[in-house]
Amino acid sequence: MAGRTVSIELLWDVAIPKSLEQTQGWVLCAMQRYGRELVNMLWRILGSEQDVCDAYQDTFLKLAHHEHGCKPENVKAYVFRSASNIAISILRHRVIENRHSSRIPVKSDMSSPAGELDTRNLMEALRAGITELPDHLRDVVTLHDLGDLTYEQTGRILGISAATARVYRCKAVRLLAARMRKENT
């Protein structure tokens, strides 16, 4: 947890340029307002400090260059949606790298003789499964479960109702459970 605090402070120090254009001040306000929440969400999704830093930076660069520097209508939604998409892309690249480098965990490593699951391997398998979900389901799981947002917040960001977000999450959980059962057989 201490690493997270240091990371956000370092990110903030690096992000403040000496000569800031007045027209881009809203980007720094967004960083200050949503930065901590965003870092927490990215930590839950990615689990790696380097990946979190990369996703954080890419998110705010994307915001600063949105339609040639124009402020989006809903900055919070834009930031969290962009960050979740960037995080999913990072996870997809990680899965591809694991497949090509033969570092994918073997089934026998997934459980100990006492029947306890290795949490790290399980999390990687779940993250890999999340990357393969349809976009609408993946977005809900990313924001609600990994980003720790409520259904109402998730719905607002995605432009759907809270009830629809619940339904999408339920479908996503069923697909992930089926995938995990398939991998264990």
Topology of 105-185 in CATH? Arc Repressor Mutant, subunit A (1.10.10)
Assess whether pLDDT exceeds 90 at residue 111. no
Return the pLDDT at 98.
72
Q: What's the half-sphere exposure (Cβ side, CA atoms, 13 Å) at 7?
A: 22
pLDDT (tens digit per residue) in 144-179: 888 888 999 899 888 999 999 999 999 999 999 898
Q: How far is Cα 104 from Cα 125, in angstroms, rounded to an integer?
A: 9
Q: Do 151 and 144 contact (CB within 8 A), yes or no?
A: yes
What is the model's pLDDT at position 11?
Answer: 53
Helix ranges (DSSP H) in the chain: 2-15, 25-46, 49-64, 75-100, 119-131, 135-141, 151-158, 162-184
| 111 beta partners | 117
pLDDT per position as a tens digit, 13-66? 554 554 445 557 888 888 889 989 999 899 888 888 899 999 999 998 888 888
Q: What is the rounded CA–CA span in Å between residue 131 and residue 9? A: 29
Residue pair 137/173 in contact by the 8 Å Cβ criterion: no
pLDDT of residue 105: 47
pLDDT in tens, 120-132: 777 788 888 888 8
Residue found under tokens 């930590």:
43
Q: Kindly report, as residue ranges, where domains of CATH 1.10.10.10 are found in the chain.
A: 105-185
Partners of 117 in beta bridges: 111
Binned at pLDDT 50, 70 and 90, residue 96 comes out as confident
